[in-house]
Amino acid sequence: MAEALDTVVAVETPEGILIELRPAGLVVRSYAFAVDWGIRLAVLYAVAMLTAFIGGVGLAVWLILLFACEWLYPIVFELKGSGATPGKRVFKLKVTMDNGLPVTPAASITRNLLRVADFLPFGFGFAIASMLMRKDYKRLGDIAAGTMVVHQQKPAGKPVLADVPPITPATALAPRTQAALIALAARAPFLTVERLDELAAIAAPVSGDARRSGRRVTHRVLGVAQWAMGRRE
């Protein structure tokens, strides 16, 4: 089920390991676009006020700036280190190649020049249609350039669990089951005792206590969570 819902894209490196990328969807990308749009509008407005006093040269500067804001702004920011415009950085997104590597200049220029095609027929219609129809949320420019907009993730860090003696699980545990047990144990201090018992009863098969519940079973399930954290009996 989780596989069917997840939009994770896995790419294999030459070292033979898989790297997981999480493509960013329409909504968060629209927010990022709105922020970028606001920034550009503010800059153009401010410069327009300054250049109004210096006539033709001022107008030239402003028109060139308008050109730069329309076409060069995303390219410059995507190629400058982080691979993200300020708007994308606010929402922790970045542009990568299909294989997870930083975006190349050619790809960045391609995807940003093709923005015109994405804008058609009006209001980014084709971009929205394309993003809604694809699992990796690419707009037309992304498809042609072989790029993707992904969530930048930071490692979650090591969860801190209450100290319970570890218990070896009754059956082999899949990584996802282990993660669920650890998440339960991490939430334990914030749950009422009764609710914790209820939840632990669902997980009870891992400690060989299927169809049983109660304080002792909870204790044993939390023990298995300790095992999943890497401690051994």
| Contacting positions for another protein (CB under 8 A) | 13-17, 19-20, 55-57, 59-64, 66-67, 70-71, 79, 81, 100-102, 104-107, 109-110, 113-117, 120, 140, 143-146, 153-159, 172-175, 178-179, 182, 228-232
CB atoms < 10 A from the CB of 169, how many?
Answer: 21
169, 177 Cβ separation under 8 angstroms = no
Nearer to another protein, 28 or 173 (CB): 173
For residue 21, the cross-strand partners are 9
Nearest approach in angstroms of CB 13 to another protein is: 5
Given the complex with another protein, which of 31 and 151 has the nearer CB atom?
A: 151
CB of 140 to another protein, least distance (A): 6
Could you give the 3-state DSSP secondary structure of residue 97? strand
Structure tokens at 59: 């107008």
Q: Is 202 exposed, middle or buried (0-12, 13-18, 19+ CB in 10 A)?
A: exposed
Angle subtended at Cα 62 by Cα 57 and Cα 67, rounded to the nearest 5 degrees: 125
Name, in order, each residue with C-beta under 8 angstroms of 60's C-beta and a sequence gap of 6 or more. Answer: none
81 vs 123, beta carbon nearer another protein:
81
Give me the least distance between CB of 192 and another protein, in Å please: 26
Q: What are residue 12's DSSP bridge partners?
A: 18
Complex with another protein: residue 211 or 232, whichever CB lies closer: 232
DSSP state of 190: G
Distance CA 70, CA 23 (A): 24
Torsion of CA 40, 46, 49, 55, to 10 degrees: -60
Q: How far is the CB of 7 from another protein (least distance, A)?
A: 17
Query: Least separation, in Å, of the C-beta of 214 and another protein?
Result: 27
Name which of 104 and 213 has its Cβ closer to another protein. Answer: 104
User: Measured from the CB atom, is 20 or 198 closer to another protein?
Assistant: 20
Residue closer to another protein, measured from CB, 100 or 208: 100
CB 164, min distance to another protein, A: 15
Instruction: Report the relative pairing of strands 18-21 and 9-12 from DSSP bridges.
Output: antiparallel
The token duo for 2 is 């989780």
CB of residue 99 to another protein, shortest distance in Å: 8
